[in-house]
């Protein structure tokens, strides 16, 4: 039920069906508490973490991500799980909530446990499949030597052990409480650390009990003391309500806390609507589900292309435009929330790159709407965006959507110039490979060896309509389809050729003043240049060869493969492989 992977789609559906029918029978109480608790007041609570002010929602997503990775615990929202883990840690001690990402470390742990206690076999099968294990199992003495052994292998398993240790640390209620820095610092000094609830909660404690425990409660200087006391009292009733399973008390306390916190220093407190949107953005999966809309447009456009069906094509373009608008909203929202243009981590690079492709497609579709190539750019871009957002959806660890501060080296105007030009060119390269791929399919199915003629322009086939034929569907028949595809590939290839060259040169300018050298033969640089070399080969081969369309298509696909190699293999594998890299 908490499996979130496309390969398990079917079992997920079945599990969901079963869950619907069984939940109310077995766990009515627990379920109802979770349902009755209304965490929405906390959507506008800000948490200071790692040098940023985040909404509670995005903070809880981040922290729970350290524990259970991409998995959801009991179908709960991360916000609920965060507070539940804080107030009722015992409920999670032996629950399989720790996600072990590295598959190679799962088996040794499972083997050690099964050896010690054969009855765990079934549970361990589940662990090997889902990667979820409990704190109590990891604590067992049989696991310890296995984990220690794996910790000492710095090359293969130490990182996985570090992340398990990280998950166990985060799960501890003292850690969760300490990190819950929701009490704003007094004054307007931005580099003052916010306080955790831990720092004021004792203000609501019974003085006698406090004395008996040898503790003291001192309010934070600079903040209205009555507010601190009110907040501590509300927190106390929240804790009591939560542990008693009393949703009414909990909801009231949540409202109170959410109201008091901003009033402690309203000048320094972030805008409530921004915080609410941030929570919304994270609880809606960063809107990467838009890939589905793109996928629909791709299907419609392909139907339109293959069956020369104008209706499907028009519908496809319409759906594409809807998807692009949603995508733009997601991007704009992220821009507003993070107060910077989204291009500084892998998630942002991939989704923004796809968005640039969408922009190019929309502009080209408008200019060439009466030409034979109408719909082709939407198709290529829709495909690129669907793939990009799908990657963000299904690889949430590699493409981490958390908003964090940029490294100091990224704070430069060239980040915005260089990175965007490069990722724009990468998307165009991918789009060119889409049309080149369709061209190759066309040739496999017996299409003629045609190409778009220069002079009638690189956009020859596209403006084909104006040269003689009638615009629209008729132009897509027979030889024209090959010409159109080749023309689209060439148009996109030329754009990306110029942009890639410019982007590389701009990167060199940035590297020159940032790292002290314009070019350092770093693998990322080399493979960006390699991509360009492939396109240089393409241009010259096209000039020399007889079957221009075929070679163009093949090399466009090769170029895209090199680009993807740079983005995926170099980024995730090569640079991390050699310490001298």
Partner 1 sequence: MKFGRAIFDLFSSVRFGIVLLVLLFIYMSIGSAGILYPVHPNIFHPDAWTHAQMRQWRPFEMTEFEWFHWWPFDLMIGLIALTLIVTTLRRIPLRVINLGVWTIHTGIIVLIVGSFIYFHAKVEGDAPVARRKIVLKLDGVEAPVELLAAPGSSAFIGSGANRMTVEVGEIDPAWTLRSGQDEGATAYSVNLIVTDPSKRFIRQLIANHPEYTEDLMFTNDPGQPMKRAVKETGTPILEPRLTATLDYESQGYFYLRNDLAKSWALYVRPLGATQWVMRPIDGLPLYNDRISSRSEVFEVGGTPLVPIDPLSVSIPATAPNDPCPDVIFTANGYLRYAQTKSRLVGGGSNAPFNPSATINVKSAEGAKANYQLIALDPERSTGDEGLIRMVAVSSEAEFEKLLRRAEVKIVIPAAGIDIVEAVRIPQEDAKVDAEKPFIPIGDPQLGYGFRVLAAQDDLPVADRKASVLIVDIKTPDSTIRRWVFDDATLTRDVPANGGAHAGPIAPDPAVQFEYRPGGGRALLTLAAGPSPDQLRLVASFGESAGKSQPVTVDQPMTLPAGLTIEVSSYQPRSVIDTRPMIVPLEQQIRDAREMFAQILLSIPGGESRWMEFSMYAFDDFRFALRRHPFHPMQVKLADGREMELLFSRQRLPLDTEVALEEFVLTSHEGGYTGQAGTIRDYTSILRFRDSDQWGAPTQVSVNSPIEHNGLWYFQAQWDPPEPPSSQNDRGSRGLNYTVLGVGNREGVWIQLAGCIIAVLGMIYAFYVKPILIRRRSERARLAAEIRIGHSNEVVTP
Contact positions with partner 1 (CB under 8 A) in 123-152 = 152
Query: What is the sign, positive or negative, of the torsion defined by CA atoms of 164, 169, 172, 173?
Result: negative
Query: What is the sign, positive or negative, of the torsion defined by CA atoms of 480, 485, 488, 493?
Result: negative
Considering only residues 514, 547, 554, 564, which one is a binding residue for partner 1 as defined by CB under 8 A? 514
Considering only residues 42, 56, 80, 527, which one is a binding residue for partner 1 as defined by CB under 8 A? 527
Residues 191-220 that bind partner 1 (CB under 8 A): 191-194
Distance CA 407, CA 34 (A): 39
Distance CA 171, CA 323 (A): 38
DSSP string, 390-421: HHHHH-TTTT-----PPPGGG-SHHIIIIIHH
Query: Does the protein bind partner 1 through residue 249 (CB under 8 A)?
Result: no
Closer residue to partner 1 (CB): 90 or 188: 188
Contact status, residue 377 vs residue 360, Cβ threshold 8 Å:
yes
Distance CA 500, CA 307 (A): 35
Closer residue to partner 1 (CB): 136 or 498: 498
Please state the closest distance from residue 427 (CB atom) to partner 1, in A: 18
Q: For 175-208, b where at least 16 C-beta lie within 10 A, e where not — what string?
A: ebeebbbbbbbbeeeeeeebbbbbbbbbbbeeee
How many angstroms separate the Cα of 254 from the Cα of each of 36, 204, 341? Answer: 13, 16, 33
Considering only residues 2, 458, 489, 552, which one is a binding residue for partner 1 as defined by CB under 8 A? 458
Q: Which residues pair with 263 in a beta bridge?
A: none
Query: Does the protein bind partner 1 through residue 501 (CB under 8 A)?
Result: yes
Closer residue to partner 1 (CB): 219 or 523: 523
Considering only residues 14, 116, 306, 454, which one is a binding residue for partner 1 as defined by CB under 8 A? 454
Please state the closest distance from residue 65 (CB atom) to partner 1, in A: 15
Closer residue to partner 1 (CB): 288 or 492: 492
Considering only residues 210, 247, 359, 536, which one is a binding residue for partner 1 as defined by CB under 8 A? 536
Query: Does the protein bind partner 1 through residue 155 (CB under 8 A)?
Result: yes
Please state the closest distance from residue 138 (CB atom) to partner 1, in A: 22
Considering only residues 76, 345, 457, 571, which one is a binding residue for partner 1 as defined by CB under 8 A? 457
Packing angle between helix 310-338 and helix 290-306, nearest 10 degrees? 160
Which one of 164-172, 218-226, 282-290, 525-533 is the stretch in contact with partner 1 (CB under 8 A)? Answer: 525-533
Query: Does the protein bind partner 1 through residue 174 (CB under 8 A)?
Result: no
Considering only residues 61, 71, 106, 181, which one is a binding residue for partner 1 as defined by CB under 8 A? 181
Q: What SS3 state is found at 48?
A: strand
Residues 322-381 that bind partner 1 (CB under 8 A): none
Closer residue to partner 1 (CB): 95 or 541: 541
Considering only residues 41, 245, 285, 523, which one is a binding residue for partner 1 as defined by CB under 8 A? 523
Query: Does the protein bind partner 1 through residue 178 (CB under 8 A)?
Result: no
Which one of 273-281, 337-345, 393-401, 538-546 is the stretch in contact with partner 1 (CB under 8 A)? Answer: 538-546
How many angstroms separate the Cα of 132 from the Cα of each of 128, 162, 193, 398? Answer: 8, 16, 34, 18
Distance CA 183, CA 181 (A): 6
Please state the closest distance from residue 482 (CB atom) to partner 1, in A: 20
Q: Which residues pair with 195 in a beta bridge?
A: 183
Residues 410-429 that bind partner 1 (CB under 8 A): 411-412
Considering only residues 215, 306, 517, 572, which one is a binding residue for partner 1 as defined by CB under 8 A? 517
Which one of 221-229, 248-256, 284-292, 504-512 is the stretch in contact with partner 1 (CB under 8 A)? Answer: 504-512
How many angstroms separate the Cα of 220 from the Cα of each of 56, 180, 223, 380? Answer: 22, 16, 6, 58
Interface mask toward partner 1 for 477-496; x: CB under 8 A = -----------------x--
Contact status, residue 177 vs residue 198, Cβ threshold 8 Å:
yes
Distance CA 551, CA 559 (A): 12
Closer residue to partner 1 (CB): 134 or 502: 502
Q: Which residues pair with 55 in a beta bridge?
A: 46
231 Cβ contact partners less than 8 Å away, ≥ 6 residues apart = 183, 200, 256, 257, 260, 261, 264
The number of residues that bind partner 1 (CB under 8 A) is 72
Considering only residues 530, 561, 564, 571, which one is a binding residue for partner 1 as defined by CB under 8 A? 530
Distance CA 320, CA 345 (A): 26
Please state the closest distance from residue 10 (CB atom) to partner 1, in A: 26
430 Cβ contact partners less than 8 Å away, ≥ 6 residues apart = 357, 380, 384, 387, 560, 563, 564
Which one of 121-129, 216-224, 350-358, 518-526 is the stretch in contact with partner 1 (CB under 8 A)? Answer: 518-526
Closer residue to partner 1 (CB): 181 or 548: 181
Closer residue to partner 1 (CB): 254 or 560: 560
Residues 257-296 that bind partner 1 (CB under 8 A): none
Looking at 89-172, list the stretches that DSSP marks H as alpha helix, in order from N- to C-terminal side.
Answer: 90-93, 103-116, 121-130, 135-139, 143-152, 158-171
Distance CA 421, CA 356 (A): 9
Considering only residues 6, 20, 51, 188, which one is a binding residue for partner 1 as defined by CB under 8 A? 51
Lookup result for tokens 């901003």: 262
Please state the closest distance from residue 275 (CB atom) to partner 1, in A: 14
Query: Does the protein bind partner 1 through residue 522 (CB under 8 A)?
Result: yes
Residues 548-577 that bind partner 1 (CB under 8 A): 565, 569-570, 574, 576-577
Residues 386-405 that bind partner 1 (CB under 8 A): 404-405
Considering only residues 120, 247, 315, 508, which one is a binding residue for partner 1 as defined by CB under 8 A? 508
Query: Does the protein bind partner 1 through residue 537 (CB under 8 A)?
Result: yes
- Find the largest Cα–Cα distance for the chain: 95
Lookup result for tokens 């524990």: 67
Closer residue to partner 1 (CB): 21 or 189: 189
Considering only residues 203, 349, 373, 534, which one is a binding residue for partner 1 as defined by CB under 8 A? 534
């Amino acid at each position: 039920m908490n499996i979130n992977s496309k390969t398990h789609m079917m079992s997920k559906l079945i599990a969901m069906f079963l869950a619907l029918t069984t939940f109310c029978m077995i766990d009515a109480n627990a379920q109802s508490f979770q349902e009755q608790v209304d965490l929405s007041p906390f959507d506008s609570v800000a948490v200071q973490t790692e040098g940023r002010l985040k909404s509670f929602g995005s903070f809880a997503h981040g922290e729970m991500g350290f524990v259970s990775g991409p998995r959801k615990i009991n179908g709960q929202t991360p916000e609920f799980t965060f507070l539940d883990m804080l107030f009722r840690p015992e409920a999670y001690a032996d629950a399989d909530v720790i996600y072990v990402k590295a598959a190679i470390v799962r088996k040794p742990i499972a083997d050690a446990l099964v050896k010690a206690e054969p009855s765990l076999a079934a549970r361990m099968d589940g662990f090997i499949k889902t990667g979820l294990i409990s704190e109590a199992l990891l604590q067992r003495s049989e696991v310890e030597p296995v984990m220690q052994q794996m910790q000492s292998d710095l090359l293969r398993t130490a990182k996985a052990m570090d992340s398990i240790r990280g998950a166990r640390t985060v799960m501890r209620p003292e850690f969760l409480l300490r990190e819950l820095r929701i009490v704003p610092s007094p004054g307007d000094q931005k580099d003052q650390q916010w306080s955790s609830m831990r720092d004021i909660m004792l203000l609501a404690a019974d003085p006698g009990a406090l004395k008996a425990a040898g503790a003291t409660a001192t309010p934070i200087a600079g903040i209205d003391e009555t507010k601190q006391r009110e907040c501590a009292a509300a927190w106390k009733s929240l804790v009591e309500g939560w542990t008693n399973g009393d949703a009414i008390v909990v909801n009231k306390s949540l409202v109170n806390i959410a109201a008091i916190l901003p009033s402690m220093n309203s000048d320094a407190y972030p805008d409530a609507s921004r915080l609410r949107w941030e929570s919304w953005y994270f609880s809606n999966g960063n809107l990467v589900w838009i890939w589905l809309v793109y996928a629909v447009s791709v299907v419609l456009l392909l139907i339109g292309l293959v069956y020369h069906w104008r209706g499907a094509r028009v519908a496809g373009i319409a759906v594409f435009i809807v998807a692009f608008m949603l995508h733009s909203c997601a991007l704009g929202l992220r821009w507003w929330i993070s107060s910077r243009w989204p291009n500084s981590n892998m998630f942002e690079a991939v989704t923004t790159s796809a968005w640039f492709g969408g922009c190019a497609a929309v502009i080209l579709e408008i200019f060439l709407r009466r030409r034979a190539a109408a719909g082709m750019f939407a198709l290529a871009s829709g495909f690129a965006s669907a793939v990009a957002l799908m990657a963000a959806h299904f690889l949430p660890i590699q493409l981490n959507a958390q908003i964090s501060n940029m490294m100091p080296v990224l704070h430069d105007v060239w980040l915005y110039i260089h990175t965007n030009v490069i990722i724009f060119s990468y998307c165009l390269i991918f789009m060119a490979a889409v049309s080149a791929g369709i061209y190759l399919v066309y040739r496999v199915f017996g299409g003629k060896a045609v190409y778009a003629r220069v002079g009638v322009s690189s956009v020859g086939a596209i403006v084909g309509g104006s040269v003689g034929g009638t615009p629209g569907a008729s132009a897509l028949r027979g030889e024209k389809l090959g010409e159109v595809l080749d023309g689209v590939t060439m148009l996109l290839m030329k754009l990306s050729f110029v942009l890639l060259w410019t982007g590389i040169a701009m990167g060199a300018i940035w590297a020159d003043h940032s790292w002290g050298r314009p070019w350092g033969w770093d693998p990322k640089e080399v493979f960006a240049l390699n991509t360009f070399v492939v396109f240089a080969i393409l241009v010259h081969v096209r000039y020399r060869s007889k079957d221009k369309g075929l070679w163009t298509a093949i090399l466009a696909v090769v170029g895209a493969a090199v680009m993807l190699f740079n983005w995926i293999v170099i980024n995730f594998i090569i640079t991390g492989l050699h310490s001298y890299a």
